[in-house]
């Protein structure tokens, strides 16, 4: 690779490619992969665990004084008090993986004093490697990437993640989805949030939104987006979103318009905005009479 990459990114790339090879080997015989459920519709496989172990070993061999925060093993590895913490999702898109749908990735980020400074998202099925270092831009393989230039929401292609856990507010999500579908060129649900964010960074989609995400889902992807010239925040447009379980990303113009659509659905919305959402949610209940037509843009 011709890029002058930060040394920590190079180590993360080595870790991600090692995990990717484990994932690709397992994908050749997906029927033999052992799967268990953490919660309803929340799956973990032996592949997630093997990939995570390989990533952690690679990172801690290079940086034994660093901390680790990983999806499957939490914070049990690495230094507990380090200012440098690697945030890892070894296989984002596990449900896709166990069904043989080739949309999943490895996500590795380095946070320094709570701020993400290095990011790698690796798609092993396409051998696509997304990297970013704070202040140095975002890259796909060896070329610089930028967010899209579309300015109007009606022309935007938006990706999302559907609720799937018990306790998720499905009715509220259906209202959100309906409002976005009416105002955009299309809505997609690929199934791997880290890759969704990478695709916003690359300009493949114009925005992405999802509720219920964890830091390991969005840490690396959020840096890709901002280094590619985009914005990331919660539904209200506030940038400090990493542990708020609300994520909205997009190019600056589309992001601003998406805040206008989704802001009232934010957990940080005003009481009046939340009351309006509850009223619109009632209209899609089984006894409701359907949603009103979209307001003009």
Query: Are both 67 and 127 inside the same structural domain?
Result: yes
Packed helices 271-282 and 170-183: angle between N→C axes, nearest 10 degrees: 90
User: Can you tell me the distance from the alpha carbon of 258 to that of 254, in angstroms, rounded to the nearest whole number?
Assistant: 6
Q: Which of 89, 122, 145 is the last residue of a domain?
A: 145
pLDDT value of residue 243: 86
Q: Which of 145, 179, 210 is the last residue of a domain?
A: 145
Task: Identify the weakest region by mean pLDDT among 237-241, 259-263, 277-281.
Answer: 277-281
Q: Which of 111, 145, 179 is the last residue of a domain?
A: 145
5-19 mean pLDDT: 97
Instruction: Output the CA angle 38-217-261, nearest 5 degrees.
Output: 110
End-to-end CA distance of the chain: 45
118-147 mean pLDDT: 98
225-233 mean pLDDT: 98
- Total structural domains in the chain? 2
pLDDT value of residue 286: 47
Query: Are both 161 and 268 inside the same structural domain?
Result: yes
Over pLDDT 70: what percentage of the chain?
88
Q: Is residue 293 part of a domain?
A: no
Q: What is the pLDDT of residues 39-93, one digit of tens each?
A: 665 678 899 999 999 999 999 999 999 999 999 999 999 999 999 999 999 999 9
Query: Are both 109 and 38 inside the same structural domain?
Result: yes
> Does residue 284 or residue 125 have the better pLDDT?
125
* Structural contact between residues 284 and 175, judged by C-beta atoms closer than 8 angstroms: yes
* Structural contact between residues 157 and 185, judged by C-beta atoms closer than 8 angstroms: yes
pLDDT value of residue 283: 52
User: Can you tell me the distance from the alpha carbon of 121 to that of 199, in angstroms, rounded to the nearest whole number?
Assistant: 11
User: Can you tell me the distance from the alpha carbon of 270 to that of 194, in angstroms, rounded to the nearest whole number?
Assistant: 29
CATH number at residue 234: 3.40.190.80
pLDDT at residue 285 greater than cutoff 80? no
Q: Is residue 216 part of a domain?
A: yes
pLDDT value of residue 274: 58
Enclosing domain of residue 46:
7-145
């Amino acid at each position: 690779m011709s890029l002058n990459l930060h040394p920590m990114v190079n180590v993360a790339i080595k870790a991600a490619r090692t995990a990717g090879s484990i994932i690709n080997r397992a994908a050749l015989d997906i029927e033999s992969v052992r799967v268990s459920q953490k919660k309803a519709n929340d799956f973990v496989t032996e592949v997630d665990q093997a990939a995570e172990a390989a990533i952690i070993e690679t990172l801690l061999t290079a940086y034994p004084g660093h901390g680790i925060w990983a999806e499957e093993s939490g914070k049990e590895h690495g230094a507990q008090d380090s200012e440098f913490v690697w945030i890892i999702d070894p296989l984002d898109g596990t449900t896709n993986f166990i069904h043989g749908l080739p949309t999943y990735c490895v996500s590795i980020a380095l946070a320094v004093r709570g701020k993400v400074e290095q990011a790698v998202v690796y798609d092993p099925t396409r051998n696509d490697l997304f990297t970013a270092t704070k202040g140095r831009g975002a890259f796909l393989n060896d070329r610089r990437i930028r967010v899209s230039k579309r300015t109007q929401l009606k022309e935007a292609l938006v990706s999302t993640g559907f609720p799937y856990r018990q306790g998720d507010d499905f009715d509220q999500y259906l209202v959100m989805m309906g409002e976005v579908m009416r105002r955009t060129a299309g809505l997609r649900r690929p199934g791997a949030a880290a890759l969704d964010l990478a695709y916003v960074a690359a300009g493949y989609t114009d925005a992405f939104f999802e509720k219920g995400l964890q830091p390991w889902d969005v840490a690396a992807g959020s840096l890709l987006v901002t280094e590619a010239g985009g914005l990331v925040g919660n539904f209200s447009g506030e940038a400090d979103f990493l542990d708020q379980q609300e994520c909205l990303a997009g190019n600056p113009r589309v992001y601003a318009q998406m805040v206008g659509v989704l802001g009232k659905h934010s957990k940080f919305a005003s009481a009046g905005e939340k009351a309006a959402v509850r009223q619109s949610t009632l209209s899609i209940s089984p006894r409701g009479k359907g949603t009103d037509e979209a307001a003009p843009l």
